[in-house]
Amino acid sequence: MSTKKSPEELKRIFEKYAAKEGDPDQLSKDELKLLIQAEFPSLLKGPNTLDDLFQELDKNGDGEVSFEEFQVLVKQISQ
Ligand SMILES: [Ca+2]
Ligand SMILES: [Ca+2]
C-alpha cells in the first residue's frame, strides 16, 4: 500500500470523521464508510467489504470504532 500517513494525520482524519454524528470520539459504521471512501478507497478493493472491516475493527462489539480500535487499521495502512 502506497498511501502512507503519519500518526498525526491519521488521528486528525479519525477525529474529523468521528465528529460527524453521535459520539465525537467514536466512529459509527457510516462514519467509517465515509472515512474509508474518502481517504483509503484502496482498502475496499478485493475481498474486503466495509462490513468485514467494521467487524474486524470493532473488537468490543459495541457498534462503534474507538481510536484505540482504529489502531488496527492504522497498522494495516502504514505497513
Ligand atoms: Ca461519531
Ligand atoms: Ca467498539
CA of 7 to the centre of ligand 1 (A): 20
Higher-confidence position of 77 and 60:
60
Domain boundaries, the chain: 7-78
**73 burial level (CB within 10 Å; 0-12, 13-18, 19+):** buried
Q: Which whole number is the average pLDDT over 58-76?
A: 93
**Cα–Cα distance for residue pair 20/75, rounded to 1 Å:** 24
pLDDT in tens, 22-58: 999 999 999 999 999 999 888 888 788 999 999 999 9
Of the given ranges (1-10, 13-22, 52-61, 66-75), which has the lowest mean pLDDT? 1-10
**Banded pLDDT at 1 (limits 50, 70, 90):** very low
CA of 34 to the centre of ligand 1 (A): 11
Q: In angstroms, how far is CA 53 from the centroid of its own chain?
A: 8
Count of CB atoms situated within 10 Å of the CB of 17: 22
CA of 59 to the centre of ligand 2 (A): 6
In CATH terms, the superfamily for domain 7-78 is: EF-hand (1.10.238.10)
**18 burial level (CB within 10 Å; 0-12, 13-18, 19+):** buried
